[in-house]
Amino acid sequence: MTTKLLNEDQRDCLQEIANVAMGQSADRLARLLDVFVVLSIPTVGILTRNDIAMALQSLQQSNTEVTHGLTGVCQGFIGGGIAGEALLIFNGTNYHDLATLLRYQQSEGIKNELLMDTTNVLGGACLHSLAKQLDTHFSLGPPTLLNGNPDLASSLQERETGWSEALVIEINYSIEDHKVNCDLLLVISENCIDGLLEKLNYLLE
């Protein structure tokens, strides 16, 4: 992977692109729910599946309540020589609170629908912005629920992802004054990192 590591300029460029995409997706969610969305600085790194799973296991240990547990949604994307997955991980989220914000009628079995709708808003807007800045277009696959707490980490490790190492952009979103928190992991598979670097180099020229 040494030939595919980002240099400082490439990393800064990608982080800035991610920052713009994060802001636009957060703005869409804030307008939809009429809330203030708290953001963190996006992080960029090369991670293995085990690295990601270990981070999820750490989160699981601090989120043992069923209503505030850890679960996630995965959505594949491809375009312009870049392919990967968007993983939206819900961490410490109160789904009754989220249902109220989305103006859903409280009912049993609504959690999966809430996860899918939030993924469509955040993941879709973020990927659209990322693709636009890279002057390409991403085709999105259907979102898929990942096994929830306490098996999310092991579920990720066991899935056939097609990659062992990947470039990961991590973005955290939380809603002020509500127990709604999630991390969006944009995972670029290792065989597509060179394609991403070409686009970054073009923007840097």
What DSSP line would sit under 147-166, residue for residue?
P-TTSHHHHHHHS--S-SEE
Q: Give the residue-averaged pLDDT of 80-108.
A: 84
How large a percentage of the chain has pLDDT more than 90?
30
pLDDT confidence of residue 152: 55
Q: Which residues pair with 55 in a beta bridge?
A: none
Confidence of residue 61 (pLDDT cuts 50, 70, 90): low
Distance CA 137, CA 146 (A): 26
pTM: predicted TM-score of the whole model, two decimal places: 0.85
Token readout for 191 is: 């065989």
Distance CA 74, CA 184 (A): 10
Is residue 66 helix, strand or coil? coil
Distance CA 89, CA 36 (A): 19
Confidence of residue 91 (pLDDT cuts 50, 70, 90): confident
Q: Give the residue-averaged pLDDT of 28-47.
A: 90
Domain that holds residue 44: 2-204
Q: What is the pLDDT of residues 109-139, one digit of tens each?
A: 688 888 888 888 889 999 999 999 999 999 9
Q: Which positions ≥6 away from 107 have C-beta within 8 Å?
A: none
Query: CATH number for the domain including 137?
Result: 3.40.1550.10
Structural domain tally of the chain? 1
Q: Give the residue-averaged pLDDT of 164-179.
A: 88
